[in-house]
Amino acid sequence: MEYLMTELQGVWILEPKVFGDSRGYFMEAYKKADFERHIGSVDFIQDNESKSSYGVLRGLHYQRGEFSQAKLVRVIKGRVLDVAVDLRKSSPTFGRHIAVELSEDNHRQFFIPRGFAHGFLVLSDEAIFSYKVDNVYAPQSECSIRFDDPALGIDWPIAAADMKLSDKDVKGLPFSEAVYFD
């Protein structure tokens, strides 16, 4: 596994070594000792999976306070644009984002630490998205930031009119009203 540090402190792209032949492929998707040597100790407690169709945008979500979550995400099938937004007030990259394409072909993974909002947009006919989290889902602590807030300047490759959003995401707060982390 190759660990690539991004310009946002604590956010990493992981590129596994994929061994393929005429039968298919094999790769290590997660190895605790290697992960901890490069990124640090994260106690992942749950694996989640979602299936979405073209144009579905999920995000930008985060949980406040004691229920904040770190995530290790990847795409099992399809292709998505995955985005993390820095909500840490003390960070030199506060308010900035990074976007990474994750797909079944590139096998990339994306580590997003606590203190970030996260979302993804499905670019293929469908996508199966898998993620590890280090904390439970707490609906009372969940927040959503507007995916199209001009203050963030995220370049989504699908027009907003062609996106499929939940009511929660349609009603997301502007970045200026988000609850930030210290």
Q: How confident is the model at residue 30 (pLDDT cuts 50, 70, 90)?
A: very high
Question: How confident is the model at residue 6, as a pLDDT?
Answer: 98
**Per-residue pLDDT reduced to its tens digit, 53-93:** 999 999 999 999 999 999 999 999 999 999 999 999 999 99
Say how far apart CA 113 and CA 59 lie, in whole Å: 16
For residue 68, the tally of other CB atoms under 10 A from its CB is: 18
Kindly state the average pLDDT of the residues 21-44. 96
Residue 48 three-state SS: strand
Percent of the chain with pLDDT over 70: 100
What domain range includes position 12? 2-177
Q: How confident is the model at residue 108 (pLDDT cuts 50, 70, 90)?
A: very high
Which position among 97, 107, 118, 131 bears the catalytic label?
A: 131
Instruction: Classify residue 45: in a domain, yes or no.
Output: yes
**Per-residue pLDDT reduced to its tens digit, 46-60:** 999 999 999 999 999
Closest CA to 60 of 152, 130, 131: 152
Instruction: Classify residue 182: in a domain, yes or no.
Output: no
For residue 182, pLDDT beyond 90: no
- 118 a catalytic residue: no
Q: Which bin fits 87, alpha (ψ -120 to 50), beta or left (φ > 0)?
A: alpha
Q: What is the CATH classification number for the domain harbouring 37?
A: 2.60.120.10
- As a whole number, the mean pLDDT across the chain is 96
Instruction: Classify residue 120: in a domain, yes or no.
Output: yes
Say how far apart CA 68 and CA 70 lie, in whole Å: 7
For residue 38, pLDDT beyond 90: yes
Which position among 3, 30, 54, 61 bears the catalytic label?
A: 61
Question: How confident is the model at residue 179, as a pLDDT?
Answer: 87
Percent of the chain with pLDDT over 90: 98
Instruction: Classify residue 139: in a domain, yes or no.
Output: yes
- 61 a catalytic residue: yes
Instruction: Provide the 8-state DSSP code for 151.
Output: T
Instruction: Provide the number of structural domains found in the chain.
Output: 1
Question: How confident is the model at residue 138, as a pLDDT?
Answer: 95
